[in-house]
Structures are given as C-alpha cells and as structure tokens.
Structure 1
Amino acid sequence: MVKVAILGYGTVGSGVAQVLCQNKDAIARSVGDEVQVKYILDVRDFDQSPYGGTFVKDFSVIEEDPEVSAVVETIGGATVALNFTQRALSAGKHVVTSNKELVACHGLELTRLAQEKGVCYLFEASVGGGIPIIRPLTMCLAANQIEEVCGILNGTTNYILTRMIGAGLSFEAALKEAQENGYAERDPSADILGYDACRKICILADLSFGKNVDPQLVPTEGITGITLADVDYADGAGKKIKLLGRALRQPDGRVCAYVAPHLVDGSHPLAGVEDVFNAVLVKGDAVGEVMFYGPGAGKLPTASAVVADVMDIARSKGARPPITWEQGDDQTLCGTDELASRFYVRVQAGADALRTHVGEIKLLARSGAAAGETAGITEQAMTEQQLRSKLEGMEVLSLIRVLN
C-alpha cells in the first residue's frame, strides 16, 4: 500500500483527497497497489470532513512517519511550502506539487535535492492545471529540439478578455464579473499583472531549453491597459487580444522569454481558446506544432494532474527518470528588445503623422472612434525599442505586439 500525506486542505488539496477516495479502485488497478491518504496537514479544523481522522497540524508527524512515501504539497507560495518540501525530500519522501511559484522560483534546487535523495519531485499540475504538458514535454517530445513554447497560461485574464471581446464589457466590469463567478481572487494582481503567467512560462522554458529561467528577469506585462477601443480595432482586423507567455530559442542558443498581450489572428488555434480555458502551443524541430488545451485551473482538473503524478510514483516505485535542468547564467536570456515583430499602434494623431513616424502601416477603423485617434498595424517587423524611438514625441495610447 502506498500511503500519502496532503499538505493543505484548500481547493486543490481537498480535490486531491476526493479523487484519491472516489477513484481508489481504478487507481489501484492502474498502479497495482492501493493508494491511501494517511494524513492531511492544515492549521484549520474540519470537524465535518469525511477525512476527519487524518488531519494533523504538525508537519513533523508526516516527516518522521516511515510509512508515508509520498507528500502532496498544495499549500501554495514559496515560504512554508518550500520549507516543508525541502524537509520531505530530505526525509526520503517523494513530493508532488501544484505550486507554480515554488517550482518557478526554486525548482532547480528542489529537483537537485530530489535527485540527491533518490526520490521524485513532480509538478505536472503547476503549469496547466488539468492540461497534461510537463510529461509530454519531458517524455513524448524528448526527441525534439524545442524552438518555441507559447500559450494562454492564465484562465482569469483569458476570461476577462473573452468577456471584453464577446460582451463588450470594460476591463473593470469584466474583472468584477470574474470575481463574482469565483474566477478571480479578491486581490487579482498576480493574474491581471501577468505574474502567474510569468511563473508558468518560466517552468516551461526550464524544461524546454534545459536552463534555469529566473522569473525576476522575465519582462512581464498584464492586461490592465487593454481597452474596448483596442478590442474593437483588433476585431476589425480579424484578430483577438490574448495574454500570452512566450519562450523562444534564439539562433545563438539564448532564450527570449516574456509575458505580454498580443493580437492573434482569428484563424490561429490560440484565438479560439476562450473563457477560463488555457492552451500551450509547442514547436519542435521534428514534430512541428502541437497544442495542448483544457481547463487550466479548478479543483478537480488540477487534482487530476496531481493524482496522476502520485500514480506515476506508485507505478514506478519511484524509479522514474528525474526531471531537472541546469543552472542558467548571464548568457541564458536575451531581452525582448532583440525580438522583432509587427505591432498594433494606437495614437492621438492623424494618419499622415503616424505614417511619417513609423512608415507603412495598415490603418484600422472602428465605430465611435475619438476625434484625432488613429490605429493601425505596422507593415514592417521591428523591435519594441525601435518602434518607441520612431514614436517619440507622439501621444501613444496603446502598443501591442502582433503574434507572428
């Protein structure tokens, strides 16, 4: 019997307990052994919980119990969760997590510690919630040199943009609706400012390119500056605005990683990803383009991915190949100032003045445009720094990269 401890009984932790319980027979048949929750760690009391007899408040109970072979960390953050993860791995216990902040910021040291102790540190649920992406990247696509990973990595921002596009809601109204529906936290900063997507693209970049990518070094822009005017102009061009995390291999081997809104052509697969759904597009030199799509968060979808990692450990008896990557250096990352693309530009100026500054541009129109407002998409690809230099002296209202 495989005995498991769950750290945290919030949305994901309770979902993990539920899936392990309700699907216990199918899980046992699949892995060849029963998987049982022995402990659930939480500082709160859950007197009405069906798992009442398993709750503990002292992590050392789990740490010192030789019967517990796997620990599921769903606490979140990178303080207490880091401490408990280090202690669990050091005690020779496998650890499974859904914690993107922890993996993005400390994944390198934790994967190395796991390797040193001969145990597994798995984190399938840390990027795409219920979407399988870590295992495909590290196993199914292992024969490829990955050229690019690009995706809609945050369900909250995708829901907000979907409602702005489909229902004509302002950013503020769409955010309020997302909060009322439980898709956005009371403090939505990590989502709407792009930090959540940044952590996820860093994990994908680590795995895709084999070098550690520090989230603090990745340029990150959220969606707070997107207006209905931008949505309307994009629609007139047959495009949709999406918040994307991207990591691209450069010809010299460096990685360009960033998070920013993009205009995506209506025919592109990512354009059809709506509401709280996520999608990750991977380009490999052998396979070409493949896309992974599904619920990027939520209690049971995320628990599904967590339990799959637990089953992987139980099935392999912990003997699966380790997941790890190398330490990055000053040559790992290059800035987005080296990434040329076309841009959507909206300015408070006339069309002739805009052309004079940026050259050839495809002008866009929308009903109800403010007097003196001009918007268009540059014909020439250039870096953002080059474009901003050309626009110097103009009143720039919006500047959004166009996905190639």
Structure 2
Amino acid sequence: MSRAGQPSENLDGSPAVPFDQHVRLLADYIEEYLDDETLNEGDQPAGFEVEGRLGVIRDNYDERLKLPIESEVLLKPPDDDEFSYRFDPGVSEKQFQDIMARLKDMLDLSAAKTDSSAPTPSQPTPPKRGRHRVVSAKQEITDDEYHRSPRHPNEAVRVTYPHPKPANAKPKEFTRKQNLVTLNFWTGRDESDAPGTDEEPRHLIDFRIAINLEHREIVCPSPATLTFARTRNRQSYILQDWRIDSTVVQSGKPRADMQGRTYELEVELNEDSLREQVTRKKQGKEHRLYHVLQEFFGVLRDWSSFLNLHSAPISVADTALAMPHAQEGAQDGVKIADLRDCAPPQKNVEMYLATIGPVMPLIGDYLFTAVAPALMEADRDKEKETQMQTDGAESDKGDQAMNGQQQGR
C-alpha cells in the first residue's frame, strides 16, 4: 500500500524504487556523501549543498552541444580527449522575467507574510491548490570577492560583504566550495539542429545538478589574491524542503569597474530536511527522500521545458490565450493557450450539468459547446412535442364534451 509522500511498496512489502533512474542516482550519491565522516574531514564541519541551476551546455566552438538525441539525457563527465563540453550557467533577461512571472503560479506566498493575518508555524494552513507553500522570502544584495585559497590552489574562497561595501568593511562570511558530484542534463535537440535548416540556433535551456561541500576557510583578502568580484541581487523563496534563488549578477574583472550583467536561476535542497530523510531511510523508517528529490527534479524540468517551449517564436509574456476575446489584436502566427483560463460560458456549464452529469470533465470543450446544447435542444423539442400532444388531447376532450352537450339537447 502506498504512503503519502512515498513511493508504493512491492508485492512482497519491500520499498519500491523510484521509477525515475535519475532520482535514484541522485539519492544514491546523497546517501554516500551525507555522513559525518565526509562532512568532518576538514578543520571544521562542512555544509552539505545540493543545487540545481539552469544554463546552456556548449561545445568547444561556444555553440550549444549537438547530439543525435531528441529528449533529455544525462551526459557523461566532460573529457578533453573524447567528449569535451562545458556548462554555461545563466539565462537571458527575457527568460529570467518569464520564470519570475511563472513563480507566481508555482508558489503560495500567503504563509510568508509578516502581517498579523499570516498563519504561524504552529497553525499551518494547506497551500493553495497546485502550489508550493513558501515559508519565508527575502531579498539580499551582497558584494562578493573571490580569492585564491592558500591551502587549495585549485579552489577559490568567496568573501562576502554587505552592499555597498563600506570602507574597512568586515566580511560577513568566508566560503570555499568543494565539488563532489556534477550531473549535466542535456534537454534535447534544438529545432534548428534538424538536417537541412540554416536558421540561427535558438539554444534550448539545459540544467545541472551539483553536490558540494561548503567549507568555512578564513583568508586575508588582498589585491594580490583577488581573482574575481561581483555584486549579487538575490531574491530567495524558502520552502520546507528546498529554496529557490533568482539572482541578478553584476560582475567584472578584478580591480576593474563592475560590468556585465547575468541572470541565474537555482534550486537548492534544504540540508536539515535532506539529512532527516536520509537518516530515516537508513534506519528503515518511512521517509520522503524520493518524493523530495522528485519535486527537486520537477522544478528544474518545469523551468527548462517552459522556457524551451516558449523561447520561439513568441515568449509566454507575448502569447494570446486561445479565447476569442484574448486574441483580439494578436499578431498572426502560433498562439499558445493556457487551458486554465479557457473556461466555458456559464450557460454551457449549466446545460452540461442538466443534461450530461454532475461531474465536470478535465478536458471537454466538445461536451460544453456541442453535446450539451444538442441534448438541451432535443429536450426542448421533446417538451414541445409533449406539450403539443397534451394540448391536442385537451382539445379532443373539449370537442367530445361539446358534442355530448349538443347531443343532450
């Protein structure tokens, strides 16, 4: 029997593995590395990070990687000799705006309000239908400097300051990331990759998942060790099991004016929640590990497929809904319909309920616009016929009564 938030059991009672092999692979990696031995290898306990971000997988010619595959695939790690590529994080400004608009449909911010009407943690309310409830939301602007690590030459330490960075400012934090696992997901072939087309590629969006350790390593910042600097304007939405970070980054070369803006979209798993689910799984207790990871993958896939669907020829912000009033003034071409906004007229709904049944269909425009009106018209014709028969019968009775009276005279 299935349990809420957990995959079903097999017939013999053993826990069923998730149907998504990538979810299971990520779960195996997390179980392998999320332990005290790994986290306590350094001088201080390290943080455990599992993050996913959007970007484009590019080849050596800075073009999106081309493969003879139509759908999502997990790539083997890049190899300079056999299979070379790189993941270029970030999306365009337009894509960033489209995802920010989509978050309004994905997230329920009612529980994140700070006024007196907001529910407290001890009095939780269920999230709005089809939405993820946000526990808290915050915006933060920081100045980040990346300095070479004296003990780890191939890694950098991120030194974070409040923005704008005051003179003689003390850093808020020191962070050095150590990558353990990287999974690069290529989302499918661009339409312009098809044979015989010469159009400019419109580059689909891919995504990457990384497992990292976050070490606190204090360094002495100096111009000699500075390798990179940037300003981050980040909006974060914190949920029960994960968080969403949407960041506008202003970056530039060391010791130069800040220039060049990029847009980043990330999803990060909650370490405490992840640790709890892994512990319960190892102890043989009911757990939500696979459920949490399926949601994590679901957000990344939703974002990438949403952007890939709407990236050409029209973005979601420019499309007209497939309703007559919404298409007035729309440009000629393909229109993308949001079926959630395509409600039938109330008159048709009433006819449907009266003639077909009390249960509304998920997709049933034909039932509303054709079948129900036809049945309603048939009912009206039947009523007219019945009324005519009734009127005829009453007329016959009247004639018979009149004839009887005349015969009596």
Shorter-chain-normalised TM-score: which range?
under 0.3
Which of the two has greater helix per residue? 1
